[in-house]
């Protein structure tokens, strides 16, 4: 993936996850600074986990602090919008989910790409893509005390895995790496959107009485 495209994907992912984290915080009744903190943590969380596990240190937002600025500015915008349009909170979970889907799509591909550069096996690289794409959302859900989205029956990690596999396979072909990345991200986005639109779910176990 060429550098400009990669940077663009990172910025899109940061903005999307900051929106997702910020709205989740608004919904959970957090304070203004808490909204900013959660937005930033969700935006950088997946990539931070990836860097720690791969041993790339210091982690990415220390090497590239502009990403923190992008996340913070996004969080402030969420704050203003949520304050001026309190009725938007009624739909806030939908905003969280769609923003999360965009972040999942871009970060899964950039995360896979970064892991491949560390010379891990392709299927391990895909796992790192999934960690990068889902990590922020897991942190978000633990901090607002919901069951992590990735674990509760939505077609979610599966979409990320599918996109990661497509990206890795297409990279091996003649295709420009940018196109491979775009195709992988698009697949994730389409699968997630379809899953939300038509309520596709993975089979899930019922909770027995405790």
Q: Which residues bind a second copy (CB under 8 A)?
A: 25-35, 37-38, 48, 52-55, 57-59, 62, 65, 68, 82, 89-90, 92, 118, 120-121, 123-124, 127, 138, 142-145, 147-148, 150-154, 156-158, 201-208
Are the CB atoms for 163 and 185 separated by under 8 Å?
A: yes
Question: Which H or E run includes 167?
Answer: helix 157-171
Residue whose CB is less far from a second copy, 143 or 168 = 143
Residue whose CB is less far from a second copy, 4 or 198 = 198
Residue whose CB is less far from a second copy, 174 or 205 = 205
Min dist. Cβ of residue 196 to a second copy (A): 15
Min dist. Cβ of residue 184 to a second copy (A): 19
Residue whose CB is less far from a second copy, 73 or 175 = 73
> In angstroms, rounded to a whole number, what is the distance separating the alpha carbons of residues 157 and 194?
14
> In angstroms, rounded to a whole number, what is the distance separating the alpha carbons of residues 209 and 80?
43
> In angstroms, rounded to a whole number, what is the distance separating the alpha carbons of residues 141 and 5?
29
Min dist. Cβ of residue 119 to a second copy (A): 10
Q: How is residue 199 annotated by DSSP?
A: T
Tokens of 134: 């889902």
């Amino acid at each position: 993936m060429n550098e400009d495209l990669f940077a663009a994907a990172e910025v899109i992912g940061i903005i999307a996850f900051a929106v997702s984290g910020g709205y989740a915080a608004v919904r959970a009744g957090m304070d203004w600074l808490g909204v900013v903190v959660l937005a930033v943590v969700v935006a950088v969380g997946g990539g931070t986990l990836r860097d720690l596990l791969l041993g790339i240190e210091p982690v990415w937002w220390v090497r590239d602090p502009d990403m923190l600025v992008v996340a913070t500015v996004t969080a402030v915008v969420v704050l203003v919008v949520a304050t001026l349009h309190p009725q938007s909170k009624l739909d806030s979970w939908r905003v969280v989910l769609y923003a999360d889907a965009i972040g999942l799509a871009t970060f899964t591909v950039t995360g896979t790409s970064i892991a491949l550069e560390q010379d891990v096996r392709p299927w391990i690289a895909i796992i790192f893509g999934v960690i990068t794409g889902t990590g922020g959302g897991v942190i978000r859900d633990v901090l607002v005390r919901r069951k992590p989205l990735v674990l509760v029956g939505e077609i979610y990690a599966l979409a990320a895995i599918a996109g990661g596999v497509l990206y890795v396979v297409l990279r091996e072909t003649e295709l420009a790496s940018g196109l491979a990345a775009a195709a992988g991200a698009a697949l994730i986005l389409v699968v997630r959107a379809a899953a939300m639109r038509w309520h596709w779910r993975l089979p899930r176990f019922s909770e027995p009485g405790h």
